[in-house]
Structure 1
Amino acid sequence: MRIRGLAIGAVLLTVLGTGCTVERHWGGSTGAGDGPVTIGLVTKTDTNPFFISLRDAASAAAAAHGAELTALAGQFDGDNDGQVRAIENLMQRGVDTILITPSSSTGVLDAIDRARGAGILVLALDTATEPADAVDATIATNNLEAGRKQGAYVRAALGATPARLFMIDGTPGSTVDTFRHNGFLEGIGLTDGDPAIRGREPANGDQHTAQQKVENLLQRTTDVNAVYTMNEPTARGAHAALRGRGLTDQVVMGSIDGGCEGVRNVRDGMFDATVMQFPAKMAEQGVAAAVEYGRTGAKPSGFIDTGSVVITDRPVPGVESQDTAWGLEHCWGDA
């Protein structure tokens, strides 16, 4: 269903966790009201399984609380303008709270500031803004720690062999990309500019882009034994490129996400480990905070870590992990 006035670049995914609607004054409510609490969710895309899982969990949580949820998304990872238009759309609707996974950690700050100035609670999910206090609170994976776990795993799996590394990053300008990249380097014991890094390319979290970028890197050198991937779609793309050159057996590859497909990829040997996130926790805690704000005016603050776990069937010394059987019991997405 398309609603009149919905801006181009944002797609309406889910409307109304309950069956009724209520007219709100523009800017939302700062106290208890007679109608249901209204919540807007803005994700980076409506195609990445991570954000689909987060959206579905938010919708279910809103329905359980008797709240109304309107979910919007950018057209692609990095669609900053689409997210700004989505925030403006939600402000016009008069929602009490906006939950957002920013594509750019700085590109939506003006829109967020206008929303907060109008009395709307704004919470970042999954991706922190820069500065962090541009929103009221952030509910997310500690991405620096998740990256560090991936790097520590790859370092231990290589043993005494020096790393010869490709890095397949995410979307430039995103704190998720920056934190995971920096955390991985910390975990593997390298720094940017180290000659051990044989190539580095952004892939915007996209599988096909990652495959193309790794194929391009392999045209320069095949002397590689480790690959960092920012998320599981990029890991699948990297695997396809390595497989095309017959190099999969010589490379240790880690990733981050913990989707059910990604856990099966680890089980089937496509990559060696993934660091599981918990998007349902982000969504559920975000909705619970939004409901509390809509009913009482109480606001959360600071950073709320929803945790991460290394998933692998090839455990290594010094890195705490769970196997893929455990992972398939706890993963998000389609089981």
Structure 2
Amino acid sequence: MRVIRTTAIRSILAALIGLCANVCGDPNRSLAADEPRPPIAIQFSLDRPIEAGAAPFILASARGLFSSEGLAVTINLASGSPDAIARVAAGSSDFALVDINELIRFHDKASAPPIKAVFVLFNKSPYAIVARKSRGIHALSDIEGKTLGVAEGDLSIRLWPALARQNGIKAASVKQNRISAAVREPILSAGQVDAVAGFSYLSAVNLRDRGVPADDLAVFQYADYGCEAYGFAIIVNPAFAARKPEAVKGFLRAVIAGTQLAIREPERAADEVVSRMDGGSRDLELERLRTVISDNILTGEVKHNGIGGIDTARFERSIDQIAEDFKFQKRPTAADIFDDTFLPPLNVRLIN
């Protein structure tokens, strides 16, 4: 009888232990299909300090668009596109927003890992020459014989020789004054140079904020003078993309939703951006956001083909323009630089 009682007690204890494992959770068992899973941690690098151009990412973070895709995204700042690309190459960042033209040049390095862009945010490059009409520059050709301020690390100047040739401008006649990026707008507003090379949505807006009258500014956007270049794009670490393709797709869906929000609600988007800045101006960032949306993001090509992708023929022409002044060891193709397999269907990418 004692043996029977002992056996019964052992059976009851075993059943209780099993029940506890099912109710309390066994750390060694896998999650059931209907149980919530922990979010995937992602490191994302911006290639510059936060400003209105980063609104899609700020909104995706602030409005829970990343978290709804099961992603926990940490945004960090790089010191430029080369640094951001290097972080993705090393794996310290999973994604980065970089100048796609710098990525094209990066691919020419013999040891370069096969990093690709998976989403184009700026359908048109923001490269521009910003000049003062009061310095005698009313047309792009008027820059001949003038002084152009060029900041250290500026990427727009790398396509300037090709643009000058395309428009019959004697580039050699334009004196380049190398300057710090911190004084690019101040020296133009002070009249120490006649024009500066930079980004239209940054330099031109900053100059108006410094008190330079809008009717004294001449903004020559490269895209209006035959430059085919795309602008900022999202790149991904290839090992991460291979391991977690669904996370890449979810990241892009969240960015598209964030872009849609920025376009529909620019005032609220500017508020979110300024809340992440140190001493930012809401009016300045709102003007900057509206400029970048109209000039660089919501282009005719995007309205027709949706956001995020490329026109392959145009992209190939843009590589040819880079090749005019950058000597490739082996010229890349569009397929070497851009991977469209993570993009959502067209109906998700159309912006109304």
User: TM-score normalised to the size of structure 2?
Assistant: 0.40
Rg larger for: 2
Instruction: Report which structure shows greater RCO (CA 8 Å, sep ≥6).
Output: 2
Pick the structure with more helix per residue. Answer: 2
User: TM-score normalised to the size of structure 1?
Assistant: 0.41
